[in-house]
Amino acid sequence: MQFSWISVAALVICISNISALQCMTCGWSQSIDECDASGHLKECMSNQDSCETTVRRNGNNVLVSKACKDRIACRSNQLQNARYAGMSTQCNSDQHNSVCTCCCNKDMCNIGSLSCVGKNQVAEYAAQDCPVVSTSLPHGKIDCNKDNRSGSVCKYQCTGKDYSLWPKERENNICLGNGSWAHKKPCCARPCPPYYLVDIAMLIHFTGENAEHLLKTTLEDTATFAVIAEDGVKISTLYHNENPVESSLIKFNEYGENATLLLELMLERIKISNKGPVNTGKAMRYALDNMLIPEAGMRDSRVEGGLDIYINTNPDDDVKGPADEARRRGIQVYVFGFEIGDFKFDRKKLLDIAGKEEHIFVFDTDLINLSEQDIEELSGHFCQNPCDHVLHDHE
Ligand SMILES: *[C@@H]1O[C@H](CO)[C@@H](O)[C@H](O)[C@H]1NC(C)=O
Ligand SMILES: *[C@@H]1O[C@H](CO)[C@@H](O)[C@H](O)[C@H]1NC(C)=O
Ligand SMILES: *[C@@H]1O[C@H](CO)[C@@H](O)[C@H](O)[C@H]1NC(C)=O
Ligand SMILES: *[C@@H]1O[C@H](CO)[C@@H](O)[C@H](O)[C@H]1NC(C)=O
């Protein structure tokens, strides 16, 4: 007798070492469905080789819990179902109180209703199928172990480069006995940042001895700041002094998704050339008329528009008029200002451009060093609910 107990235990340990049992686990819930919906699949410890479901009923109030359990302990709880209690047994459908326990030993086997006793012990309905899940998950895949049948577990996985599940913790879904899926279907999404969705017109003016250096670092930063893509960021650039310098113009539709090409074009076309006053307002008007338009490759109204002003000196003309017009068109206006050495910006002028403090980013070195708060500000405008990305084929 003793010998056989040892060999059973040894066998069990051997089996469970191969791969841990997976059980649905939940704390006390008010129904089987609520337990399955709010619980999670757990890898059991090596000494836990059963999945246990316990249903306590007190009148019409039901409490359900599910857990990993030692097989012998679970078995002995299950044996109590038939123990004499009151007029019938401990697990019953004819008394005010009832306690039922069921054990099973396969992965995910304790999903759904009690498997070892009649349904009416739980005051339940017949299990229903769930609506068919589409087997396609854009940029990923779905595997369900029982299709759309009650108790089926679907696992979601993202396969596209840079794509991951959103919401993050929704790796699997369960068809509850009441005919509903436990969760809304997740999607495969790319993180934002850096996958912003925005068309940005960049207006640049740098002056002084560090102008060349500032230009170079700004252009390099811009081309690497976000992912340039037809469903990501597109950039159009223009240098200005007294006038918009048209030979420096790069339109949204000139480089496809090729960030290397964009940087090449920027370095080739954008040159420091300063004379006369700095008419940033005039350049902004030019951007509204010639850059932020469909003919220049701006995408449709589902994509946000941005107007970013890169300067290290105070503009000389009226900037408020064109900035307000941009805002009226739904375009977000930002200032990236470099305040190096003794130079100080006229803050009112920056505010005229940006419209609010949160849209003013001022750096005291020649590096664009955005704080977490700045990034949050940008994300608030240019990131979307990733499952709802307007240019993606999410369902
Ligand atoms: C099924 O049960 C879950 C969890 O208790 C609940 O959220 C959902 O609304 C129920 N669905 C139906 C159709 O009753
Ligand atoms: C479950 O799938 C089957 C087979 O695809 C289908 O006939 C049935 O209508 C589905 N159930 C529900 C509730 O959609
Ligand atoms: C991107 O542009 C660079 C520079 O013009 C070019 O060498 C490269 O082949 C392009 N890449 C793609 C994928 O077209
Ligand atoms: C960027 O700014 C943060 C504070 O906002 C600072 O701690 C960090 O050193 C800066 N990084 C560089 C490269 O200047």
> Range(s) for CATH 2.10.70 in the chain?
140-189
Report the share of the chain in percent with pLDDT over 70: 91
> Range(s) for CATH 3.40.50.410 in the chain?
198-389
Q: Which helix (H) or strand (E) holds 78?
A: helix 71-79
Task: State yes or no: pLDDT of 17 exceeds 70.
Answer: no
User: Which of 382, 334, 342, 381 is CA-nearest to residue 362?
Assistant: 334
pLDDT tens per residue, range 248-271: 999 999 999 999 999 999 999 999
pLDDT tens per residue, range 149-165: 988 999 999 998 888 88
User: Does residue 136 have its Cβ closer than 6 Å to ligand 4?
Assistant: no
C-alpha torsion sign, points 370, 197, 226, 278: negative
User: Does residue 7 have its Cβ closer than 6 Å to ligand 3?
Assistant: no
pLDDT of residue 309: 98
Coil vs helix vs strand at 152: coil
Which of 128, 130, 147, 148 maximizes ligand 2 atoms within 8 Å of its Cβ, making it the mutation to test the pocket? 148
pLDDT of residue 3: 46
Q: 140-189 has which fold?
A: Complement Module; domain 1 (2.10.70)
pLDDT of residue 10: 47
User: Does residue 13 have its Cβ closer than 6 Å to ligand 4?
Assistant: no
pLDDT of residue 393: 54
Task: State yes or no: pLDDT of 69 exceeds 70.
Answer: yes
Task: State yes or no: pLDDT of 370 exceeds 80.
Answer: yes
Residue 177 Cα to ligand 1 middle (Å): 9
Ligand nearest 366 Cα, by number? 4
Residue 212 Cα to ligand 4 middle (Å): 22
Ligand 2 atom with the smallest distance to the CA of 148 is 1
Average pLDDT over residues 310-330: 97
User: Does residue 98 have its Cβ closer than 6 Å to ligand 1?
Assistant: no
125 versus 274: the higher-pLDDT residue is 274
Place 48 in a pLDDT band, splitting at 50, 70 and 90.
Answer: very high
The verdict on domain 21-114 having CATH code 3.90.960.10 is: no
pLDDT tens per residue, range 49-60: 999 999 999 988
Residue 161 Cα to ligand 2 middle (Å): 32
| 380: number of Cβ within 10 Å | 10
Distance from C-alpha of 197 to C-alpha of 232, rounded to nearest angstrom: 5
Report yes or no: 236 and 296 within 8 Å, Cβ to Cβ.
yes
Distances (CA, A) of 19 to 13, 40, 44, 65, 111: 10, 18, 10, 24, 19
Report yes or no: 359 and 377 within 8 Å, Cβ to Cβ.
yes
CATH of domain 198-389: 3.40.50.410
Place 224 in a pLDDT band, splitting at 50, 70 and 90.
Answer: confident
Task: Identify the bridge partners of residue 26 per DSSP, sorted by sequence position.
Answer: 66
- Would you state the structure tokens that stand for residue 145, as one six-digit string? 């172990």
User: Does residue 15 have its Cβ closer than 6 Å to ligand 4?
Assistant: no
Ligand nearest 370 Cα, by number? 4
Q: Whose CA is nearest to atom 12 of ligand 2?
A: 131
Look up residue 191 and give its amino acid: P
> Range(s) for CATH 2.10.60.10 in the chain?
21-114
Residue 40 Cα to ligand 1 middle (Å): 16
**What is the C-alpha end-to-end distance of the chain, expressed in Å?**
60
Residue 182 Cα to ligand 1 middle (Å): 8
Ligand nearest 265 Cα, by number? 3
Task: State yes or no: pLDDT of 379 exceeds 90.
Answer: no
* Phi-psi map region of 123: left, alpha, beta (phi>0 left; psi -120 to 50 alpha): left
User: Does residue 267 have its Cβ closer than 6 Å to ligand 3?
Assistant: no
Report yes or no: 150 and 112 within 8 Å, Cβ to Cβ.
yes
User: Which of 347, 344, 325 is CA-nearest to residue 335?
Assistant: 347
223 versus 272: the higher-pLDDT residue is 272
Strands (E), 118-186: 136-137, 140-144, 153-158, 164-166, 172-174
Task: State yes or no: pLDDT of 395 exceeds 50.
Answer: no
| 260: number of Cβ within 10 Å | 10
Ligand 3 atom with the smallest distance to the CA of 261 is 2
Q: What is the mean pLDDT of the chain?
A: 88
Q: Which residues line ligand 2 (CB under 6 A)?
A: 129-132, 148
pLDDT tens per residue, range 200-211: 999 999 999 999
Pairing type for strands 88-89 and 153-158 reads unpaired
pLDDT tens per residue, range 91-139: 988 889 999 999 999 999 999 888 888 655 554 556 788 988 777 888 8
pLDDT of residue 162: 86
